[in-house]
Structure 1
């Protein structure tokens, strides 16, 4: 998933350790780090402690109150008092069961005056995107890339790889549903066919046509939008639930839609990826 750190004023902050004290017998200098940062919480994740001689081992706990397992990606940051980011860390925790807290530790690459939970993203484990690893039971991997942004125009690619043993057929456009931070559907946004419904020259404006992907081949479809804010409430929605074709299992990707007040999202038709393009993608 993509990291998108919030402004310093929006971060939940915990003052990190100052003058170092003698290390504990275990060598983690736990006594010199804050002992009770439980108020530092965001999206079901809370920091439970700092460890290490430099207080650079951040311990956190995830509590999931849903009805099915979720996969979490937790982004952390050490900052100065001014808000300048000194170092970051990220951890993905798979299959967090409802009502069963999970603890993890992230080792940061450097210190700072404060540590914060900068972002938490979570998707149903059964719908988690995959760019590599074991082939899903569906025989296809679906994931979103990091995207491109310029002059308020955003383009994020949806990628589908046939990692199975049989040909996989596509025809037309992926179906998408925009979800907010609470994983609730976002109303009032028009889903338009073709990237050229938003802007030309994005590469997502090819007409739909039948495709057959042999094992190992890939296809992509573009999500295109503008981040233009005028009158009204801006729409920011991190998640897009997508179906590659009718009857396909859904996959929830995290393109971080910042639609402004445009109320529009363009979706390109599936196109085969050229070999040189495939070699640039993860999982090859």
Structure 2
């Protein structure tokens, strides 16, 4: 297998923490000979070794571009075999990027191993993140699955007439990328700004969406907050999304979301935290729906920007409410998402 000219990198994994998942994912191995290590939630380092080829490239019509389920956002699934598949991630940008890829799980109805928890019926999802991918660089990765024949559903696996019927059918669900310099860092070394900023997973009900922005002072200096975070919705290509009204507070969209309090001036000492709330509705009427996967956030007008991925599905409302910063006890806040 051809070696890349760029150094080998560590790819990390995030997927549901269930015992079945820990045994289902044997290892994540980088392309080429040698060893690599994978870290998965719910388990320690995975197995390492020198794999052979996974299989053959996914079929596609001659001369036709690969469908988005096989190639999108600089990521391609390059080979699929009965017990593994391979992919590559390329950074076409002019600066380093962090790239997060979500694959779907193979179909448990065919008796193949799955990524998600038992009983999901449709397989689970598996996330891979490449951090600090240099401009023009390509990383190759491999997903090794469990022994074919194990199924996530109750009862014995179905009887199959050919080994090929066990082959997984991985697909790309989403590809999200943020400039490494703007990537949220909920864990690890404190950013040069002395402030950690990240978005939580949020909640949704009856078309109403609420996402929290969490800020923690991990530096040595006290920071004063007085007002609202600056937010800029961005489209899939990281361009500002035109026509979106940024509202101060969320009362015009819904009450009781945590975005209703008026701004107050307060100090955030080292080790302390603050929170602001984004709120919007996914209401679709006449017109073209607007989607903004990314939001560039500045805690204060002169703060360094951080790009979060709240997946804004604004429908045709064209409005995003941003609540004022409020004090937050870091001991009471939700656990931050795992670092890439």
Q: How does 1:256-275 map to 2 (within 5 A)?
A: 256-274=311-329
Q: 1:37 aligns with which of 58, 61, 72?
A: 58
Q: 2:261 aligns with which of 206, 209, 215?
A: 206
TM-score norm. by structure 2 comes to: 0.69
> Aligned equivalents of 1:249 and 1:96: distance in 2?
21
Q: How does 1:181-260 map to 2 (within 5 A)?
A: 181-260=236-315
The offset of 1:262, in angstroms, is 0.5
Off by >6 Å, runs of 4+ in structure 1 = 81-84, 109-112
TM-score norm. by structure 1 comes to: 0.82
The offset of 1:209, in angstroms, is 1.0
1:68-98 CA-to-partner distances (Å, cap 9, x unmatched) read 1110001111243999632321111011111
Contact 2:80 2:169 in 1 (8 A): no
1:79-138 CA-to-partner distances (Å, cap 9, x unmatched) read 439996323211110111111111223445787741101110000000001211111111
RMSD after superposition: 2.6
Residue 97 (structure 1) aligned with residue 97 (structure 2): no
Contact 1:90 1:106 in 2 (8 A): no
> Aligned equivalents of 1:69 and 1:227: distance in 2?
33
Corresponding position of 2:227: 172
Corresponding position of 2:213: 158
> Aligned equivalents of 1:228 and 1:283: distance in 2?
28
Kindly tell me the number of residue pairs found equivalent between the two proteins.
Answer: 255
Structure with greater strand percent: 1
Unpaired runs of 5+ in structure 2?
Answer: 1-13, 16-48, 60-65, 111-120, 149-166
Distance 1:272 1:283, change over 3 A: farther
Helix, strand or coil for the counterpart of 1:126? helix
Unpaired runs of 5+ in structure 1?
Answer: 4-25
Residue 281 (structure 1) aligned with residue 335 (structure 2): yes
> Aligned equivalents of 2:215 and 2:266: distance in 1?
12
